[in-house]
Structure 1
Amino acid sequence: MDSEAGFTIPDEGEGPGTLALSGPWLVSSIGAIEPELRRIGGPVARIDLSEVSEIDTVGAWVVCDLAERLDAEVTGASERATRLIDAVCDLGEGAPLAPPRDVVWTRIAAGTGAKVYGARAGIYGVVGFLGAILSAAGTLIRHPSHFRGKALVRQMELVGVAALPIVGLMSFLIGIVIAQQGAVQLSQFGAETLTVNLVGRITLRELGVLMTAIMVAGRSGSAFAAQIGTMRLTEEVDAMRTIGISPMEALVIPRILAAILMMPLLGFYASVMAIVGGATISNFALGIPFFNFLERIQDVVPIYDLWVGLIKAPVFGLIVGLAGCYHGMQVKGDSEQVGLRTTLAVVSAIFAVIVLDAFFAVFFTKLGWG
């Protein structure tokens, strides 16, 4: 019995002939003749398998490919070869690679319903996370010695002190933009001096705290999620539980407290820097002296605008800290989850902050602080 696969090409001058295959047509023997098989161009009317001693799925696939490419009929195949060839050829390269899709409006409705239904698990997870935080806080109240003061100070430094340069620069530039654009619009009514009112009220009441919360969400919220998520992947969180350390007490509560405590300070700092930016551009573009601008701020900005910003700040800090820590604790599986959860932490924190800011605007207006 031949140990190598072979074939005989019909003479081209005699018209379509028979391509005779011989020997074992197995995965181990076809490789040597595959380049020559690719060069066969016909004319071939039949492919004769009567001299083929053995054949496997790979051999059957090669025969099918030859028959389709040369438009030839397969003859002389044994019962086993016929079954294999029929099974392989029926697979067909033209078969659809993807299942049929529903029409677009059906897919949109089904996808929306699935997301709404899946949000239930997210709500359960957030509620459970809040419960774990409250439980850990109760434990710390009963046992103050468990509180990690050094971790809190470290997180306050990272969230607050390290953020001063970028928050200050951003707020300074925002103050310049508000003053310059506001003056352009107010000049149409001859009311350029009201630029002081515009800059003072909008920064102390809204933009100072809101933009700071967005910056902290992108800077510290993402860091919370990435740090805790990486610890989850490396099983450091599980190791802490094993040795009797609560991850909530050691990792989550210091970060959330740092965000809550530092947000009012950062928000006030951002508002001051925005006012300084507005005063700077007004000094050069509007002819309002720098210190006159700052003095007029005290006259035109009600004190409750400052309190509105300071009241909103810790709530925004709580949202940012919760979002970052929650998504970090949800990481599992692989490193891709760290990036996914970090993105979700930033997006969900910014979305929640903006929604809450809208509610606060309505609430304080009802209180007469509009």
Structure 2
Amino acid sequence: MARSSQQQGAKLLERGIGIWPTQLPRYAEIVTLTDNHEDTLVRMKEIDDPCPAMYGSWQELVHPLGGTYYFHNTKNVLTPMNLRRYMDLHSLEDFIDVSRAAVNEDGWTLVVLPTIFMGEERFQYYYVVPDKQVITWLEDLNGLELEAQYWKHFEFFPYQFRMECPQVRCIRKEVVCYIGESPKQKTEATTLSQSSAALMFWNLDQMNQVGIHLATIETEDLANNEMIDETGVVFCCRILYILRHHQFINRHNQPEAHLVRNHELREKHRSCKALVFMGNAAAMMLCMPITIGRIRRTSVDGILNGVEVNSLVDDFSSRAKNQITLSYYLGKKRNMFIIITGIPTSFCVLRTTGSMMGSILGFLSGVAIDFKPSAPLMIASIITLGIVLASLLVLVLASCGPGPARVRPQ
């Protein structure tokens, strides 16, 4: 009897799959309004807070972001599985008992998530060790950035996690260290600090916002026995995960660290906005003549004069009629002669016009993206573009129609 129970326990342990907290497919599930298990009835003159929903020995908890997860108080187990719809709760508790007996550590917190793998129910899990601030498993696994994963766990499951204001103060100091400036004397950050900020918080401004928010959490919770509430815990643990992950990639010389050192990100400092505005406006106004001059040197001569373009194409067509004849023998005693009779003038003009418009639009979009012009400059650019469009339309009409300036050779 004891041997059979041991075999069942070993089989249950084999169904466990060790994961990291970041590998959880979800840590909270939104409660649906059509759930039949939820009792929303309020009794007459009832003013007490509603008790947390219980499913057997499991207590339903609400995450600050609005999701739900479940905690087993006697076994110190957390699960993100929605127990409202989970039908095999007995199998889950059997795995928890066997895993707890194997680890034999009551102070460690177990996180388990039932899943179906290859048609069989498996249990994804990991253990949290509060004393060492790491996570661990019952088998050999790749312990990648265990310190960072520890803080990611409490971002997902902040229940009963005690964080004091001095810890928030330490996080602020770490953030300030990455900024590269002293909190008392403002100095410009170095290039490495700027690239570190861009890697972790996208840019220095957002990193400063993180520091301000940490200061707000510390100040507001000083009056609450210096204990941080769950919303502050979620935010602080998220920042700690980012910091520990950054320390890990630099300590172990990961490829991301090479990216930080080799591809530095520098902020653009613009001391004279008026000069930049004038330069952009001049570039916009000179766009049309520069583009026209470039097309004159690279394309047919006289692109601004539709008559000259027409005469050039007509001359080319007349030469093609006299000199280019293609013969092809199709069958017995049958010859086909294909003669190039002409090239449409409007096609050439429209093609050139399209190339010119593409160049102008590409230039304007590049200026808008790189230089980030102001609203007046964008209005001036649109007006310039309208003038160019009107000029090109006149040219197209002149090239297609006979026009008063057309001179035919006698």
Same fold (TM over 0.5): no
Instruction: Give the number of the structure whose residues are more often strand, by fraction.
Output: 2
After TM superposition, the score normalised by the length of structure 1 is 0.27
After TM superposition, the score normalised by the length of structure 2 is 0.25
The structure showing larger relative contact order (alpha-carbon pairs under 8 Å, at least 6 residues apart) is 1
Instruction: Give the number of the structure whose residues are more often helix, by fraction.
Output: 1
